[in-house]
Homo-oligomer: A and B are copies of this chain.
Amino acid sequence: TRGDEVLFSGEQCCPPDVVVFPHCVEEVSALAKVCHNHHLPIIPFGTGTGLEGGVGALKGGVCFSLRNMDQVLDLHQEDFDVTVEPGVTRKALNAYLRETGLWFPVDPGADASLCGMAATSASGTNAVRYGTMRENVLNLEVVLADGTIIHTAGKGRRPRKTSAGYNLTNLFVGSEGTLGIITKSTLRLYGIPEAMVSAVCSFPSVQAAVDSTVQVLQAGVPIARIEFLDEVMIDACNRFSSLSYPVTPTLFLEFHGSERSVEEQVNLTEDITQSNGGSDFQWARDAETRNSLWKARHDAWYAALALRPGCKAYSTDVCVPLSRLPQIIVETKEDLMENRLTGPIAGHVGDGNFHCLMVVDPSDPEEQHRVHLFTERLARRALAMDGTCTGEHGVGLGKRALLCEEVGHTAINVMQGLKDALDPKNLMNPGKVLQPREP
């Protein structure tokens, strides 16, 4: 995990009283019943790679580490679906699928567990083409707070679409362990494209890079990845990953499809980037070069940390409608400068989602305070532009108050009503997502 380098935005991470390592859903259910009978908090734990403090045991209790449930079950190649236990990570699944011609594209960077990714509604670099966990989970097995086992779409069911009753699957996707423990996920798979090509393009300004992104999407290019890095971020990546890209706002791009389709996508995209003053594409065609490019992108977190050795990091995570991206990024960079903060920007700009990787001296409370005020201003800037305070990291601890501002008290009351209906004793990951009520 990268827990050691993470600075949580909310309270400090608290250890649980006990950690249990169940081997099967029946054990999870039996343990949950014990907790339920004794009023013990239950904290589900996958890989601990979440960024919003979701696995902290604020009230003590029992951490359910699910790493021993690590089987890939029921691969249906011809139907493009598979079921996994919670100990299976996305890289483990893709390694398992290697010979099949299929893959699971949702890619949050960290090698997270797939059931944890379902619990936190993860997404990442491929979401612009393949969607987030919301669009890619077909069914979940969930253990409720009282030990009851449910299958959100019915046991073993895996139709590609359904209108049968309330959408329980997408109620548990993104519930951050506060409604139940996910013990199996049935996932959509995709065929590995015939051709995959990556490219890097440098721009004279943030506006030019983001304008290109918007125009590529408006032109209907089915781009697989379109990632923005500001000049601070690309400089950090150059140093950390021994690269030599120009130190200006940059897009990392990837195209998937048939050979001809990819060629057409590339030509159209290059026309657009060049019309915005972008550089010629620097290509990554073979798998090795592509992997090193995306490794550099995924190592952005460590590259940012390396800018200030001994510091910790916290990643902001706002998401706005595409047309608002240039303004919010420009204003945010001004805010960083004015407040003397280190916060390289990287983002899934095809979705309107971007992160400032805030690098903070853990021994400097004044700086931490400035970061805190900055992140609140950034979230409110996104809210003022019809956006959200979290595109993919979730609410966890630090964004509970912002969630109230975002959805309003009537929607918060509905969320609280759902929580009370499913977990009346407030045992499931207590204190996350929703703020404790006034006593």
Interface residues of A (CB under 8 A from B): 76, 78-81, 120-123, 127, 131-132, 134-135, 144, 148-168, 170-171, 173-175, 179, 191, 193-194, 214, 217-220, 222, 257-258, 260-261, 264, 268, 317, 319-323, 351-353, 383, 386-395, 399, 403, 406-408, 410-415, 417-422, 433-434
Q: Is the CB of B158 within 8 A of A390?
A: no
Q: Residue A321 contacts which of B121, B159, B320 (CB distance < 8 angstroms)?
A: B159
Beyond the given pairs A154-B408, A157-B383, 10 more chain A to chain B contacts, judged by CB atoms under 8 angstroms and listed by A's residue number, are A79-B321, A121-B163, A148-B410, A157-B406, A158-B321, A161-B391, A162-B391, A164-B389, A171-B418, A417-B422
Q: A113 CA to B392 CA in the complex, in Å?
A: 31
A/B interface sample: 10 pairs, CB < 8 A: A79-B322, A123-B163, A154-B411, A155-B408, A157-B406, A165-B174, A165-B434, A166-B419, A167-B170, A417-B421
Q: Is the CB of B414 within 8 A of A159?
A: no
Known: A134-B167, A150-B408, A168-B415. A387 touches B161 (CB 8 A): no
Q: Is the CB of B164 within 8 A of A388?
A: yes
Give the residues in chain B near A191, CB-CB below 8 Å: 218-220
Give the residues in chain B near A154, CB-CB below 8 Å: 383, 388, 406-408, 411
Q: Which residue of B lies closest to A101 (CB)?
A: B218
The 7 closest A-B pairs by CB, nearest first: A79-B321, A421-B421, A170-B170, A162-B388, A417-B421, A78-B323, A154-B407
Give the residues in chain B near A418, CB-CB below 8 Å: 166, 171, 418, 421
Q: Which residue of B lies closest to A319 (CB)?
A: B159
Min distance, Cβ A289 to any Cβ of chain B, angstroms? 23
Known: A260-B260, A421-B421. A162 touches B390 (CB 8 A): yes
Give the residues in chain B near A148, CB-CB below 8 Å: 410, 413
Known: A164-B403, A173-B167, A408-B151. A156 touches B220 (CB 8 A): no
Min distance, Cβ A338 to any Cβ of chain B, angstroms? 26
Q: Is the CB of A174 within 8 A of B168?
A: no
Min distance, Cβ A109 to any Cβ of chain B, angstroms? 15
Q: Is the CB of B414 within 8 A of A120?
A: no
Centre residue among A191, A258, A422 by max chain B CB count within 10 A: A258
Known: A408-B154, A421-B417. A163 touches B264 (CB 8 A): no
Q: Is the CB of B76 within 8 A of A163?
A: no
Q: Is the CB of A386 within 8 A of B159?
A: yes
Give the residues in chain B near A214, CB-CB below 8 Å: 78
Q: A134 CA to B387 CA in the complex, in Å?
A: 20
Q: Is the CB of A386 within 8 A of B321?
A: no
Q: Is the CB of B391 within 8 A of A150?
A: no
Q: Which residue of B lies closest to A411 (CB)?
A: B150
Give the residues in chain B near A433, CB-CB below 8 Å: 165-166
Known: A194-B220, A389-B164, A406-B157. A131 touches B121 (CB 8 A): no
Give the residues in chain B near A353, CB-CB below 8 Å: 159-161
Known: A166-B174, A167-B170, A193-B220. A352 touches B390 (CB 8 A): no
Q: Residue A166 contacts which of B175, B217, B420 (CB distance < 8 angstroms)?
A: B175
Min distance, Cβ A380 to any Cβ of chain B, angstroms? 13
Known: A131-B135, A170-B170, A408-B150. A319 touches B421 (CB 8 A): no
Give the residues in chain B near A153, CB-CB below 8 Å: 388, 407
Q: Is the CB of B161 within 8 A of A351?
A: yes
Q: Is the CB of B218 within 8 A of A352?
A: no
Q: Is the CB of B421 within 8 A of A391?
A: no
Give the residues in chain B near A174, CB-CB below 8 Å: 163, 165-167
Known: A166-B415, A167-B171. A157 touches B260 (CB 8 A): no
Give the residues in chain B near A387, CB-CB below 8 Å: 157, 159
Give the residues in chain B near A421, CB-CB below 8 Å: 417-418, 420-421
